Amino acid sequence: MFKRNLIAAAVALALANPALAQDSELGKIRDEIKQMKDAYAKRIQLLEKRLSEAEAKTGKAESAATKAESTATKAEQNSARAETATASLVSARSGENAFNPAISLILQGTYANTSRDPNTYQITGFVPSGGEVGPPRRSFGLGETELVMSANIDPYFRGVAIVALAPEGGIGIEEAYFQTLALSRGFTLKGGRFFSGIGYLNEQHQHTWDFQDAPLVYKSFLGNQLKQDGLQLKWIAPTDLFMEVGAEVSAGDQFPGSDRNKNGIGGSSVFATLGGDIGASTAWRAGASYLQMSPNGRSYQDADSLGGATTNTFTGSAKMWGVNGVLKWAPNGNTTYNNFKLQGEYFRLKQNGTLNYDDTAGSNVFGTVNGSFQSSQPGWYLQGVWQFYPRWRVGYRYDALSYSTLSNGIVNNGLGPAAADFPVLASHSPTRNTLMLDWSPTEFSRIRLQLASDKSRLGLTDNQVFVQYIYSMGAHGGHKF
């Protein structure tokens, strides 16, 4: 209104005052009036545009022809109606807890029958990884209770924390990391503690595994799963074929590394993955990875030939490369009724350095002895899981580790401790056959029966029967491919 008055006043003034009625002056005023008019028209256009956007937002496109004011109020009414329709949502949004992270809780437990004492579990022929790799305790036992929390932190970062509550008490941090949201161009940076991107199974959470326990190669080479305290950068190529490359640097404090108490980087890894679809029914991915760590004073307990306690400490380098492949099939890609998953991985762990043998706390025959240590040992597994009926799946897994090359300088010297003083490193290539049947009433619950014949120990077979339950509550977590 004010502008219109101003125009009128300007026009009146221009007409009334003959002194101003010179051509140039008049032209100037005309220009000014034109400018004002243009600005006014622009503002109207802008308002109209905003209104039409508001309409589109509330899905009221039909009423585009109706008057501006009435449309605006209508739009308000519509959004108000939509809001009240979800009354519970509104209260959740307006409260102090509106920004609470998504929370889910995983409950797990087993009933276990094993023909061998789980406390004597050992993967003979391989340097112990120090993880809790043995079977669950006999009879009823609670598994880890996992608490998962995740939310966007701000427009730039997302945060995820996964806390494992151990059945015997105590809290472990499985993962706690930030991840970038805004890097774009295919880049994602992750930092904190996270499951390494090497291998296929490593990044998957234990409750999503198709068997109760990890493959032997994961138990032996990665202590079940490799957690990195560090940084990870991933890049996805702008192609229709899925191509991802990633690199990680970490403290390298977990097997095959060790806590080094040194500045700098203790472990690093690179990995690359390809993936795609074959028609509507089949999807695949294939990957390769390389991991390098520098363990410094990584030790494990053993017993000498007399039964006395010994400590073996390794310092040197550990390098591991691996390849993996996954193929999933479901008729027309509809996994609800039938589907099949074939998955296999191969790793080779090479260690090179010095081993320190110490029996001073036990028999004290040799005291401390140093020698070189080299090993190059492969391991692999292949598994298939078939959903033969809605909710029902059956699976089979074959596991193998090969003793291959292990050269212990202390034993080779022939002057000090002999092979019998390193019983864990006795020549042995473990194998295991595992069968499972599970029933998943919904996406949120699963009950599994697993039978295994485990030849991890030298010359001994452990026949295992597990019944396991996995329940998840709260936010609907997605499962990785």
Partner 1 sequence: MNTQLRFFLLTLTWLAAGPAAAALNIFACTPEWGALSKELGGEKTNVYVATNALQDPHRVEARPSLIARARSADLVVCNGAQLEIGWLPLVLTQAGNAKIHAGQPGYFEAARFAAMLEVPASVDRAQGDIHPGGNPHLHLDPRNIAKVAAALSERMAQLDPSGADSYRARTKAFLERWQQAILRWEKEAAPLKGVPVIVYHKNMSYLIAWLGMREAGSLEPKPGLPPTASHLSDLLAQQQREPAKAIILAAYNDPRGGDWLAERAKVRVLILPFTVGGNNKAKDLFGLFDDSIAQLLTAR
Where on the chain is the footprint of partner 1 (CB under 8 A)?
52-53, 55-62, 82, 85-89, 158, 179, 181-188, 234-244, 273-277, 280, 283-285, 328, 331-337, 390-391, 441-444, 473, 476, 478-481
Single-letter amino acid, residue 169: G
Is 35 or 334 the residue whose CB approaches partner 1 more closely?
A: 334
Minimal distance in Å, beta carbon 282 to partner 1?
10
Instruction: Give the span between the Cα atoms of 64 and 71, in whole angstroms.
Output: 8
* Least gap, CB of 66 to partner 1 (angstroms): 15
> SS3 of 92, please?
helix
Q: Are 395 and 404 in contact (CB under 8 A)?
A: no
Residue 241 has phi, psi (to 5 degrees) of: -75, 135
Nearest-approach distance from CB 111 to partner 1, in angstroms: 25
The answer to whether the CB of 377 falls within 8 A of the CB of 352 is no
HSE-CB of 385 using CA atoms within 13 angstroms: 19
In sequence order, what are the residues at sequence separation of 6 or more whose Cβ sits closer than 8 angstroms to the Cβ of residue 179? 157, 158, 159, 160, 188, 189, 190
- Contact present, 120 and 95 (Cβ < 8 Å): no
Q: How far is the CB of 82 from partner 1 (least distance, A)?
A: 8
Pick the closer one to partner 1 by CB: 310 or 324: 324
In 204-241, DSSP assigns E strands to 227-236
Q: Closest approach of Cβ 446 to partner 1, in Å?
A: 15
* Shortest distance (Å) from residue 341 CB to partner 1: 10
52 or 317: whose CB is closer to partner 1?
52
* C-alpha to C-alpha distance for 44 and 251, rounded to whole angstroms: 61
Shortest spacing between CB 209 and partner 1, in angstroms: 16
Q: Tell me whether residue 72 or residue 419 sits nearer to partner 1 (CB atom).
A: 72
Nearer to partner 1, 129 or 472 (CB): 472
Q: Which is nearer to partner 1, 387 or 408 (CB)?
A: 387
Which CB atom, from 69 or from 240, has the smaller least distance to partner 1?
240
Is the CB of 15 or the CB of 473 nearer to partner 1?
A: 473
Q: Which residues pair with 348 in a beta bridge?
A: 321, 378
Structure tokens at 453: 């014949």
DSSP 251-310: ---STTS-----SS-SEEEEEEEEEEEETTTEEEEEEEEEEEE--EEEEEEEE-TTS-EE
Which is closer to partner 1, CB of 391 or CB of 457? 391
Q: Which amino acid is at 176?
A: A
The CA R_g of the chain, rounded to the nearest whole Å, is: 33
Coil, strand or helix at 21: coil
Query: CA triplet 213, 215, 221: central angle to 5 degrees?
Result: 115
Under the phi-then-psi rule, with left for phi > 0, alpha for psi from -120 to 50, and beta for the rest, what region is 45?
alpha
Query: Residue 223: which region, alpha, beta or left (left: phi > 0; alpha: psi -120 to 50)?
Result: left
Element (H, E) at 389: strand 368-389
**Residue 200 or residue 211: which is nearer to partner 1 going by CB?**
200
Closest approach, Cβ 274 to partner 1, in A, equals: 8
430 three-state secondary structure:
coil
CB of 264 to partner 1, least distance (A): 28
Q: What is the nearest approach in angstroms of partner 1 to the Cβ of residue 145?
A: 18
